[in-house]
Amino acid sequence: MKERTKLLLIISVFSLAYFIPFEQLRFQNALMESLAMLQEYAREHIILCLVPAFFIAGAIANFISQAAVMKYFGAKANKILSYSVASVSGTILAVCSCTILPIFAGIYKCGAGIGPATAFLYSGPAINILAIILTARVLGLEMGIARAIGAVVFSVVIGLSMHLIFRKEELRRQTGPELVIPKDGARVRPLWKNALYFAVMVGILVFANWGQDETIPFWQMIYKAKWIITLVLLGILILMLVKWFRKDEMKRWGDSTWGFAKQIFPLLLAGVFVAGFLLGRPGHPALIPNEWIEGLVGGNNLWSNLFAALSGSLMFFARLTEVPILEGLIGAGMGKGPALALLLAGPTLSLPSMLVIRGILGTKKTVVYIALVVIMATLSGLIYGAFF
């Protein structure tokens, strides 16, 4: 470390210690909210959401042929097929904006084009069937329909836009050395075995995080049996690993999983801490007062929709929490246009996810992706608010 860097570091630490207003109640609340949000995230998302997602990402990097990924999701793939699959992936996964990140990183590094990969990145958290049903029941049928249609259309338009904007870079990337090339040993197993292996892992992720909804009997029945289903699937997975996989393959899988965890996990925790410090948890004020947000999203003008989309993209929403939050905001005077804008931007983006996406795509592509989400959410809110 250079002497100048050491001096700047000492000055920075001294300035923070000297000027931070620890005695102010708002700052103390914000600090406690950041720690509380970090604890809540650790308890509710890491073991059941992130850990399975890391293992799926590691498996994608090792056991899926790069040629297959490029055939169906590469820059030269059939657009109708690749975007159709990517745009409805959320109906299967039903994950939050952070859980989708390791899987997105896996398919992108394995050769998926920027277009289908970002369509998948958006649709994963956006097209959650239970969230859409809950939206329709609590916020109105028209809001639920608008959210469902908007999420599918958004994923395709955003993916195609990213493809067109970065087309030349993506074509160079498809032939570059940075793509992860699975070992030849990964192609020994028949296709049906690999497909079943991935289906079981996705099943573990889905059923372990199955949400409760007492208004839908079938959904509630699965919720009551979710741990039995998860344990059965886990037993099947262990049996597969013992019977179908060599030790060297399992070691490569573990190494890839650890690689994704090292890259993504620290950024997620840092982002959750900062998001908690600035915005807090639902119903718990932090550094930015809730009244400011509530007062800026009334009506249906350009500013209110833009602010709703921007604030939603920075906040961290656990699965299904966006609906009761919006119910409270609408009761406080939030317009329906801004409500839809927040619904289309919030669950798919967050400050933690932005940090991770930047680590995967780089600054320029991340800024463009965020801008596309925010702009489209804003315009959708304006159009929806004009009719409702």
CA-to-CA separations, 267 to 228, 260, 261, in angstroms, rounded: 33, 11, 10
CA-to-CA separations, 153 to 21, 313, 381, in angstroms, rounded: 46, 18, 14
Confirm whether 136 is domain-assigned. yes
Name the residue range of residue 320's domain: 24-387
Please provide the average confidence, as pLDDT, over all residues in the chain. 83
Give the Cα separation of 73 and 129 in Å (integer).
24
Window from 91-100, 227-236, 244-253, 366-375 with minimum mean pLDDT: 91-100
- How many CA atoms lie within 13 Å of 50's alpha carbon, on the beta-carbon side? 22
Q: For the chain, how long is the longest CA-to-CA vector?
A: 66
CA-to-CA separations, 31 to 13, 22, 60, 287, in angstroms, rounded: 17, 9, 38, 8
Confirm whether 11 is domain-assigned. no
- Going by pLDDT thresholds of 50, 70 and 90, the confidence category of residue 158 is very high
Q: Which amino acid is at 312?
A: G
Give the Cα separation of 41 and 155 in Å (integer).
26
Straight-line distance from the first to the last Cα atom of the chain, in angstroms, rounded to the nearest whole number: 59
* Cβ atoms < 10 Å from Cβ of 153: 14
Structure tokens at 115: 């277009």
CA-to-CA separations, 21 to 10, 18, 284, 285, 303, in angstroms, rounded: 19, 8, 20, 17, 32
What one-character DSSP code corresponds to residue 284?
A: -
Cross-strand bridge partners of residue 298: 334
Confirm whether 346 is domain-assigned. yes
Confirm whether 53 is domain-assigned. yes
On the question of pLDDT at 186 being above 50, the answer is no
pLDDT tens, position by position, 109-122? 877 888 888 988 99
Burial class of 12 by CB neighbour count within 10 A (0 to 12, 13 to 18, 19+): exposed
Instruction: Give the three-class secondary structure for 285.
Output: coil
- Reference 120, options 87, 84, 82, 79; nearest CA is 87
On the question of pLDDT at 2 being above 80, the answer is no
pLDDT tens, position by position, 337-351? 998 999 899 888 888
Q: 93 or 7: whose pLDDT is higher?
A: 7
Confirm whether 95 is domain-assigned. yes
- Reference 113, options 356, 361, 350; nearest CA is 361
DSSP class per residue in 192-257: HHHHHHHHHHHHHHHHHTPPP-TT-HHHHHHHHTHHHHHHHHHHHHHHHHHHH--HHHHHHHHHHH
Give the Cα separation of 153 and 156 in Å (integer).
5
- How many CA atoms lie within 13 Å of 74's alpha carbon, on the beta-carbon side? 17
pLDDT tens, position by position, 43-97? 877 888 888 988 988 888 888 776 677 777 776 677 788 888 877 776 666 667 7
* Cβ atoms < 10 Å from Cβ of 386: 9
- How many CA atoms lie within 13 Å of 239's alpha carbon, on the beta-carbon side? 9
Confirm whether 17 is domain-assigned. no
Confirm whether 6 is domain-assigned. no
Give the Cα separation of 6 and 8 in Å (integer).
5
250 Cβ contact partners less than 8 Å away, ≥ 6 residues apart: 241
**Residues 44-83: b if buried by 16+ CB within 10 A, e if exposed:** ebbebbbbbbbbbbbbbbbbbbbebbbebbbbebeeeebb
pLDDT of residue 184: 45
pLDDT of residue 75: 65
Confirm whether 10 is domain-assigned. no
Rg of the chain in Å (alpha carbons): 22
- Total domains present in the chain: 1
Rounded to 5 degrees, what are φ and ψ at 298? -80, 160
pLDDT of residue 196: 93
On the question of pLDDT at 201 being above 70, the answer is yes
